[in-house]
Amino acid sequence: MRSYERLLKYVTFRTPSDEESTTGPSSECQFSLGRYLEQELKELGVADAFCDEFCYVYGHLPATEGMEDKPCIGFVAHMDTVSDFCDHDVTPVITPDYNGELFPLGDSGRVLDPAMFPHLPSLKGRTLITTDGTTILGADDKAGVAAIMTLVETLINEKIPHGPIAVAFTPDEEIGMGTANFSTEKFGAKYAYTIDGGAEGEIEYENFNAAQVKVEFNGVNVHPGTSKDVMVNACLVAMEFNQMLPSGDTPRDTCGYEGFFHLLSMTGDVAHAELVYIIRDHNAATFAHRKETIAHIAELLNNKWGQGTVTFTLRDQYRNMVEIVNQYPFLIENAEKAAELSGVSPATIPIRGGTDGANLSFMGIPCPNLGTGGYAFHGPYEHITVEGMDKVSEILLNLVKISF
């Protein structure tokens, strides 16, 4: 079975993770895909495949004869999706021989436009997979899951020699909790790759340092007719807080290695308001300074409006894997060779985000990230091509051959 055929099946499972949940996994729906993958692995011949109580799926391919002493290599992808544009079933749209031009997404009014997505002309002639424009596609990261499953099937059916191989599918990556209950012991790999990037041939081992911060504003709500020098409007203080952040440090205004403060949500009334941000930076020192900036602004506003007016909760999510992966250059060299053998020019770029591989690297499993063949993740413009997914499958197969 080709990777895209698996993707079309996997996207029928709606698996949004839940930022507000305190359980693992954060949403029960992720078990539906986890248990399906467990069964599929068993049917392919992975006898020890299992989905554990935290919705992590693990499986192992024993080394073929003569390869038993090789180090175990792992492959990881995540099953969850973002929750935005995920309130109803996905309707995949398959378009053969895409012309590389404007492409309407069903009747949604949304359009894939080369002015917005300059890579679109390079996809001319391929079979494009999109949605009707009202949902995400879910190729992030079900395309990664599909690529790994196709690799497993190929290795088993074609009896390709290899050392020990581990696979894992994780929940809750999209909320920064993808490795919260991950068992390195159950996984058993010495090195690994996440398949969770963009275009085929992408190789990533530099990611953002990441944190989430919730800032709460406690106001004083009295009758507006008698509120002079008494009322403290929590919403206005929240607006003041946001205005004190560097105005150009937003996702829209930054690229490459530049970090940002990203306002995810805002709620509130006169008595109480809340702002939720994510903080990102590749540089550890600058990242620390960004967190200090949050604390400094909170202190200034508390001095102005009264202690306790502004409180915040900051949660670190992941660190830049380059600190670890740089110590294992052969992981990158092998991935580059695998892409070249597949007729793809490797592209080593910094991730303006993160993957499970970042946390796994700091858990003792150096873990770069590879492309899935997809584009425009986390929204209704998400798309991927059949040919791109086939190339990812080829790259992974070549990577196994090179690694052993």
In order, the DSSP letters of 67-102 are: -TTSPPEEEEEE--B-STT-SS----EEETT--SS-
Q: Do residues 242 and 95 share a domain?
A: no
Give me the domain span that covers residue 164.
Answer: 3-207+320-403
Domain total of the chain: 2
Q: What's the CATH code of the domain at 136? A: 3.40.630.10
Are 359 and 324 in contact by the 8 Å Cβ rule? The answer is no
pLDDT for residue 354 is more than 90: no
Name the active-site residue from 141, 153, 172, 173: 173
> Tens digit of pLDDT for each residue in 99-118?
999 999 999 999 999 999 99
pLDDT score at 32: 98
- Residues 288-342 have pLDDT tens digits of 999 999 999 999 999 999 999 999 999 998 899 999 999 999 999 999 999 999 9
Same domain, yes or no: 157 and 283: no
Same domain assignment for residues 345 and 270: no
Q: Which residues contact 185 (CB under 8 A, 6 or more apart)?
A: none
> pLDDT over 70 for what percent of the chain?
100
For residue 148, the surrounding DSSP H or E stretch is helix 139-157
Q: Are residues 161 and 176 in the same domain?
A: yes
Q: Which pTM was predicted?
A: 0.90
pLDDT tens by residue, 21-35: 999 999 999 999 999
pLDDT tens digits, 365-379: 999 999 999 999 999
Alpha-carbon 257 to chain mean position: 18
Predicted local confidence at residue 123, as pLDDT: 98
Among candidate residues 18, 38, 40, 80, the one labeled active-site is 80
- Same domain, yes or no: 155 and 255: no
Distance from C-alpha of 352 to C-alpha of 280, rounded to nearest angstrom: 8
Residue 109 shares a structural domain with residue 203 = yes
Domain end: 251, 283, 318, which one? 318
Same domain, 192 and 251: no
Instruction: Tell me what pLDDT residue 326 has.
Output: 95
pLDDT of residue 134: 97
Average pLDDT, integer, range 211-225? 96
Give the whole-number percent of the chain exceeding pLDDT 90. Answer: 97
Contacts 24+ apart (CB under 8 A), 248-254: 251/352
Q: Is the pLDDT of residue 188 over 90?
A: yes
Given this model, what pLDDT does residue 84 score? 93
Residues 174 and 256 grouped into a single domain: no
Both 200 and 227 in one domain: the answer is no
Catalytic site residue 173?
Answer: yes
Q: What is the pLDDT of residue 35?
A: 98
Q: Is 349's pLDDT higher than 90?
A: no
**Mind listing the pLDDT tens digit for each residue in 250-288?**
999 999 999 999 999 999 999 999 999 999 999 999 999
Active site residue 387: no
With 90 as the cut, is the pLDDT of residue 38 above it? yes
CA torsion sign for 403, 200, 287, 236 is negative
pLDDT at 31: 98
Asked which of 318, 342, 364 is the last residue of a domain, the reply is 318
Average pLDDT of the chain is 96
pLDDT of residue 176: 86
**E-state strands within 219-292:** 260-268, 272-281
Shared domain for 153 and 226, answered yes or no, is no
Q: Are residues 202 and 348 in the same domain?
A: yes
Average pLDDT, integer, range 222-237: 95
Q: How confident is the model at residue 19 (pLDDT cuts 50, 70, 90)?
A: confident
Indicate the residue among 301, 318, 335 that finishes a domain.
318
Q: What is the CATH number of the domain that holds 303?
A: 3.30.70.360
Find how far residue 66's CA is from the centre of its chain.
Answer: 36
Co-location of 286 and 396 in the same domain: no
